[in-house]
């Protein structure tokens, strides 16, 4: 029997010998590899924190002590050790364990996450709550060297030092964000990481000097001199200056060394402590150690099998940026730490000076773009929908208020799948369409994405283009790009009984739905709306006056989305007697699961759309006469 199978909660770890702990670490790694390869997820990050997580749970007393993981993507080992082992095979599956920390999942997750750089703020809140209530538990924030470069983390560090509250920050330093961590802080950290020799030398000097007569006095003097020098050259001093007691660097794969440092931090009552732990991302699995970028987040086995012949939206996006950058030296691109996810690395390869990875800093990315735009550059900010939420004020205040020509390429819009509630891109149409000056668009396929990007670069105004995760539709890609008139949609299918107005990724299933409806005797017009703002009011009002049954379809929450803009347009234009049905996502956080499962659950696939359209037509079995020609024999697609 595996040792892992005997760990039902963290206290079971405390009895294990050093040898058993090593064996356990091996078993955990095996479990991670098996489950993550099958389900997809963050493999390398978790392989890197096996020993750290074991040590944390041996030294601290969770759930009384609060262990707060930043991002939460590296919490799989924590899950395995905190009573979730038996459900681990359901990781990231529909109805299964979340791939992030989640308060409703376990009392061992004191804070839910998915977005980066929140742990120190949340942990500080807990520490202050503890102090105010006269309690005595410990609070530990574990943050990566990528996440610590995020603005929120730096803001939190500033307040931790100011308050001086008893809080432990563990830096899990592996030199990597998803790609190598960028910025001067990363450089400082790497100095320490690669300079463990400094500490060994220091230790040897101390031992040597203290064995001599007057040696300890000499040691003290040498330390004072060194302290001056160290302030100049040693990056570790940064943390001391910020108000922490610094410990490290600690070998993050040596459980004993980790336990000693964490115990010291746990029992230190005077100041916040900063424990600098050096780990290897992907540790113990050679392919992941060799390519931590690829193994940061792996796809489920099933997705790998379906040969990737159709390019993803992200790939088409990046190819188009390359094309635009070749044509216009003023086109630049910005990514907050996702050059692989949004494929901009191919542009970096050709234009290293014109692509900026700014780190996990979405707010800064947007305002940095605004600055570039004031000087005549055309910045394309490539950002995932969920992470753009962070930078809403920057979009409003720094870009749109000044009507600066920044292009927002919003990847992973709509339902993203297994990453779940923290990552769904289901709000952007709502929070973007409320902003004056901003053009908000979504292509019906990857070819239109190219043309919208071209349009955005030429538009001289801020423009957002949202597109989904995964492959395009496999349509042919035009080699010549052209502008699309701003605010103009297109009728992609004629019909007289009902008009389905769909935006972005919903156009294709709306067309399929129209086909299904046709086989039931209903002729649906389908409109590729293309612009959620400005709306094509001429087209929409004409259709609504003419057809009298309108269905809007969007992969976005209904509140504040395209459907609600359309209803308000019809109201303001005095269009009456037109039935409108809005299809979209309800007022809830969309859970995790395969895109196809979730689209079907929320009626955002062809079948679901057709079903919702049918609700506008009287049921054939009811007595009400059908006003639409030839509709008497309509078979409903749903068993109502
Ligand atoms: C606000 C935000 N932006 C981007 C991401 C995407 N993301 C997830 S993990 C990660 C890298 C984190 O690096 P680090 O903190 O060093 O952790 P590691 O995986 O290296 O252990 C990024 C950029 C995110 N989760 N949240």
Contact criterion met (CB below 8 Å) for 148 and 117: yes
Map out the domains of the chain with their CATH numbers.
4-290 (3.40.50.970), 313-468 (3.40.50.970), 497-614 (3.40.50.920)
Mean pLDDT calculated for residue range 423-436: 98
Tell me the pLDDT band of 475, cut-offs 50, 70 and 90: very high
Facing residues of 551 across strands? 500, 581
d(CA 146, ligand 1 centre) in Å: 6
pLDDT band at residue 237 using 50, 70 and 90 as cut-offs:
confident
Mean pLDDT, residues 505-532: 98
Beta strand segments in 312-443, E: 331-335, 355-357, 378-384, 407-413, 439-441
How far apart CA 560 and CA 584 sit, in angstroms, is 11
Q: Is the pLDDT of residue 201 over 50?
A: no
Does residue 625 register a pLDDT over 60?
no
Q: How far is the CA of 172 from the centre of ligand 1 (A)?
A: 12
- Copy the structure tokens of residue 561: 């989305």
Residue 234 has a pLDDT of 62
Spatial distance between the Cα atoms of 123 and 301, rounded to a whole number of angstroms:
36
Average pLDDT of span 338-359:
96
Helix (H) or strand (E) holding 366: helix 362-374
- pLDDT at residue 38 above 80? yes
pLDDT value of residue 380: 98
Beta-carbon contacts of residue 127 (< 8 Å; ≥ 6 apart): 139, 165, 166, 167
Hunting for tokens 């196809």 — which residue is that? Answer: 596
Find out whether the beta carbon of 333 lies less than 6 Å from any atom of ligand 1.
Answer: no
Nearest residue by C-alpha to atom 23 in ligand 1: 337
Ligand 1 atom nearest the C-alpha of 42 is 19
Q: Is the pLDDT of residue 209 over 90?
A: no
Index of the ligand 1 atom closest to the CA of residue 114? 25
Q: CA 422 to CA 382: how far, in whole Å? A: 19
Read off the tokens for 545: 């006056």
How high is the pLDDT of residue 231? 47
Q: What is the pLDDT of residues 112-157, one digit of tens each?
A: 999 999 999 999 999 999 999 999 999 999 999 999 999 999 999 9
- Binned at pLDDT 50, 70 and 90, residue 617 comes out as very high
Q: What is the mean pLDDT of residues 542-558?
A: 97
For ligand 1, pick from 98, 101, 146 the residue to mutate: most ligand atoms within 8 Å of CB: 146
> In the chain, pLDDT over 90 holds for what percent of residues?
82
CA atoms within 13 A on the CB side of 265: 32
Q: What is the pLDDT of residue 628?
A: 40
Q: What is the pLDDT of residue 306?
A: 52
What positions carry a catalytic annotation? 281, 362, 390
For residue range 81-121, list pLDDT tens digits in order.
Answer: 999 999 999 999 999 999 999 999 999 999 999 999 999 99
Answer yes or no: is the C-beta of 364 below 6 A from any ligand 1 atom. no
482-502 pLDDT, tens per residue? Answer: 999 999 999 999 999 999 999
The mean pLDDT value for 294-309 works out to 74
Cα 379 from Cα 593, distance rounded (Å): 34
Distance 417 CA to ligand 1 centre (A): 18
The pTM is what?
A: 0.91
pLDDT at 632: 33
Of 264 and 226, more confident: 264
**Ligand 1 close to Cβ of residue 172 (< 6 A):** yes
Residues in CB range of 4: below 8 A, 6 or more apart: 24, 27, 28, 31, 80, 85
pLDDT value for 361: 97
Q: Is pLDDT of 630 > 70?
A: no
Q: How many CB atoms lie within 10 A of CB 512?
A: 16
State the pLDDT at residue 622: 52
Mutation pick for ligand 1 pocket among 71, 182, 278 (CB with most ligand atoms within 8 Å): 71
Over the chain, what is the mean pLDDT? 91
* More confident position, 31 or 248: 31
How do strand 331-335 and strand 139-144 relate by DSSP bridges?
unpaired
Given ligand 1 and candidates 72, 178, 280, which is best to mutate, with the most ligand atoms within 8 Å of its CB?
178
Structure tokens that stand for 383 in this block: 């950002």
């Amino acid at each position: 029997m595996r040792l892992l199978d005997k760990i039902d909660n963290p206290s079971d770890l405390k009895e294990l010998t050093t040898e058993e702990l090593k064996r356990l670490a091996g078993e955990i790694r095996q479990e991670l590899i098996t489950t993550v390869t099958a389900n997809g997820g963050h493999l390398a990050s978790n392989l890197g924190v096996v020993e750290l997580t074991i040590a944390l749970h041996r030294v601290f007393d969770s759930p009384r002590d609060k262990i707060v993981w930043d991002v939460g993507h590296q919490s799989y080992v924590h899950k395995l050790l905190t009573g979730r082992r038996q459900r681990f095979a359901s990781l990231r599956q529909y109805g299964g364990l979340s791939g992030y920390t989640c308060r409703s999942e376990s009392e061992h997750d004191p804070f839910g996450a998915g977005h980066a750089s929140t742990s120190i703020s949340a942990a500080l809140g807990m520490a202050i709550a503890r102090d105010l209530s006269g309690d005595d538990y410990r609070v530990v924030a574990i943050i990566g060297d990528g996440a610590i470069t995020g603005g929120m983390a730096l803001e939190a560090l500033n307040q931790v030092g100011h308050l001086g509250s008893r809080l432990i920050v563990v830096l899990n330093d592996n030199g990597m964000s998803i790609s190598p961590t960028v910025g001067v802080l990363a450089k400082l950290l790497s100095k320490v990481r690669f300079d463990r020799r400094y500490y060994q030398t220091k230790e040897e000097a101390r031992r040597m000097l203290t064995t001599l007569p007057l040696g300890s006095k000499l040691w003290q003097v040498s330390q004072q001199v060194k302290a001056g020098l160290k302030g100049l050259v040693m990056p570790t001093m940064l943390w001391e200056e910020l108000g922490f007691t610094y410990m490290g660097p600690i070998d993050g794969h040596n459980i004993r060394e980790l336990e000693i440092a964490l115990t010291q931090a746990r029992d230190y009552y005077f100041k916040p402590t900063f424990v600098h732990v050096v780990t290897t991302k992907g540790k113990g699995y050679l392919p992941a150690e060799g390519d931590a970028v690829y193994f940061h987040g792996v796809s489920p086995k099933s997705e790998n099998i379906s040969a990737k012949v159709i390019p993803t939206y992200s790939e088409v996006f990046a190819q188009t940026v390359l094309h635009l950058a070749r044509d216009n030296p003023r086109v630049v691109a910005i990514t907050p730490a996702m050059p692989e996810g949004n494929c901009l690395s191919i542009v970096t390869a050709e234009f290293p000076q014109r692509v900026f990875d700014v780190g996990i800093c979405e707010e800064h990315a947007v305002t940095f773009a605004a600055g570039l735009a004031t000087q005549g550059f055309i910045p394309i900010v490539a950002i995932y929908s969920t992470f753009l939420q962070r930078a809403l004020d920057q979009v409003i205040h720094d870009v749109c208020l000044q009507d600066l020509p920044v292009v927002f390429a919003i990847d992973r819009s709509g339902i993203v799948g297994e990453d779940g509630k923290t990552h769904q891109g289901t709000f952007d149409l709502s929070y973007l369409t409320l902003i004056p000056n901003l053009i908000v668009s979504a292509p019906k396929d990857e070819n239109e994405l190219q043309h919208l990007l071209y349009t955005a670069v030429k538009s001289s105004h801020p423009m957002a283009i949202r597109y989904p995760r995964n492959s395009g539709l496999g349509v042919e890609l035009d080699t010549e790009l052209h502008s699309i008139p701003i605010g103009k949609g297109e009728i992609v299918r004629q019909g007289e009984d009902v008009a389905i107005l769909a935006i972005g990724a919903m156009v294709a299933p709306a067309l399929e739905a129209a086909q299904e409806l046709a086989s039931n005797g209903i002729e649906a017009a389908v409109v590729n709306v293309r612009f959620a703002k400005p709306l094509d009011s001429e087209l929409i009002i004409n259709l609504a006056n003419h057809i009298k049954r309108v269905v809007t379809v969007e992969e976005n929450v209904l509140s504040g989305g395209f459907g609600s803009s359309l209803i308000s347009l019809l109201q303001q234009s005095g269009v009456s007697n037109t039935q409108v049905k809005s299809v979209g996502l309800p007022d809830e956080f969309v859970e995790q699961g395969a895109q196809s499962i979730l689209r079907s659950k929320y009626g955002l696939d062809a079948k679901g759309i057709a079903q919702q359209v049918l609700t506008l037509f009287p049921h054939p079995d009811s007595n009400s006469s059908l006003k639409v020609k030839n509709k008497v024999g309509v078979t409903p697609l749903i068993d109502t």
